[in-house]
Amino acid sequence: MAKLGLLREHDFRRLFVADTVSQVGTQVSQLAIPLVAVVTLGARPFEVGLLVTVQTAAFLLVGLPAGAWVDRMRRRNVLIAGDLGRAVMLGSIPVAWWFDVLTMGQLYVVAGIVGILTVFFDVAYQSYLPHLVGRDNLVEGNAKLEVVRATSSLAGPGGAGALIQALTAPYAVAVDAVSFAASALFVGRIRKREELPPPSPNRHLGREVLEGLRFVVGNRLLRSIASCTGSFNLFFSMAMAMEIVFFVRTLGMSPGMIGLYYSIGAVGGLIGAFVVKPVVGLLGQGPAIWIATAVTTPFALLVPAAEPGWRIWLAAVANIMIGIGIVVYNVTQVSFRQGLTPERLLGRMNATMRFFVWGTMPLGAFIGGILGEQLGARTTLWIGFGGACLAFLPVFLSPLRTMRELPTRPDDEDEPAPLAGVSGPAESRA
């Protein structure tokens, strides 16, 4: 029972199961929606890039105010509303296909609205975990939830590929719609309730957004993490926007083969979730953040080098290393952010970070679509993955490079982190 840890807790178990169900369904739609565009609707490379742009544009458009709004609400309610809204929107795709009225325009609308709901869900999700498990258990909680994501990434794409071949891509999206509805049901069974934040007499959305910005931008460690993750996502999104196009039209892969490819690569995420604790213990928290990115990202260059045959599967195996690096990086830096931030600023901190690190994704996807149209999918993959190899530099050139233990903030300390250049915990070295 000791190994179960947080899974012995009723409320964390409900969140864990909700996340499991939702993640499995998400693996289906992540493969199915681009295939709807490429195979079913015959979309051009630029249209596929635009679809990925729309999917992530919400983090740029509403990311900052979303944090202030979430900090005013009960986060559990935000999670339930986000799940139900995404279930409805995704469910409209198979319905439209059934009536032969599905268009790229509808895919853009669905992608945009789902993106907005995802912004609110993700901000509330990362802000809710400290309340649910306590700050001392953040690394364990994040690691266990990464096991869910990694396991679903391992089993999901292969099953998704088979499901798409059997049912066609539009109907496979219905599986994700059902999964979001089930996730809402499990979140609704969480017993622990948050206190509704008391309204401030001088509450002002602009000032609240600015406070979140000041907290993140004014802290050198958070700033370097935002720069690293944002640049990685920019270049990776350029490549990912053209990856399905490359697989289908250049390598001639079937949906089943594509699903198997992603399943093999997802082994790395599962391994990463299990090794993150010993890796961080060996390297230290700060070094683990930059080493995880610097050492594993270059394996992505085997993807544009792939040709029909064994090189496809070599690239899939190489993606295992990328998965390990991403999970070690994410668990370490997200746990640090959650432990550093005062309770009242959690939503705004997470939203501000999402704005900076996910806001680059629509830009990257848009650039990827243009490059794919002009230079071809393979060249776009070389440019995108090549640029991602340099993303570790902001954290490498920061104090994180040598900090074995990162600062945390006690629950009762409710002041923002020090601004850059001012001495304090966030600027100290281990």
Mean pLDDT of 151-170: 64
Determine contact, residues 357/134, Cβ cutoff 8 Å: no
CA distance 226 to 424: 20
Q: Among 111, 101, 4, which Cα is nearest to 51's?
A: 111
Residue 290, C-beta contacts closer than 8 angstroms, at least 6 positions apart: 228, 392, 395, 396, 400, 401
Range 198-212 burial, b when 16+ CB lie within 10 A, else e:
eeeeeeeeeebbebb
Structural domains of the chain sorted by starting position, each given as residue range(s) with its CATH number in brackets: 2-189+205-427 (1.20.1250.20)
CA distance 365 to 78: 28
pTM, whole model, 2 decimals?
A: 0.69
Query: What is the per-residue pLDDT for 426?
Result: 28
Most confident of 194-198, 265-269, 418-422: 265-269
Name the residue type at position 405. E
Q: Among 425, 421, 385, which Cα is nearest to 403's?
A: 425
Q: Among 358, 365, 360, 354, which Cα is nearest to 53's?
A: 365
36: tokens are 């709807």
- Taking the alpha carbons of 78, 203, 353, 365 in that order, is the dihedral positive or negative? positive
Choice among 148-162, 265-279, 322-336 with the minimum mean pLDDT: 148-162
Band (151; pLDDT cuts 50, 70, 90): low
Query: What is the per-residue pLDDT for 388?
Result: 95
Query: What is the per-residue pLDDT for 389?
Result: 96
Band (424; pLDDT cuts 50, 70, 90): very low
Please indicate whether residue 175 or residue 185 has the higher confidence score (pLDDT). 185
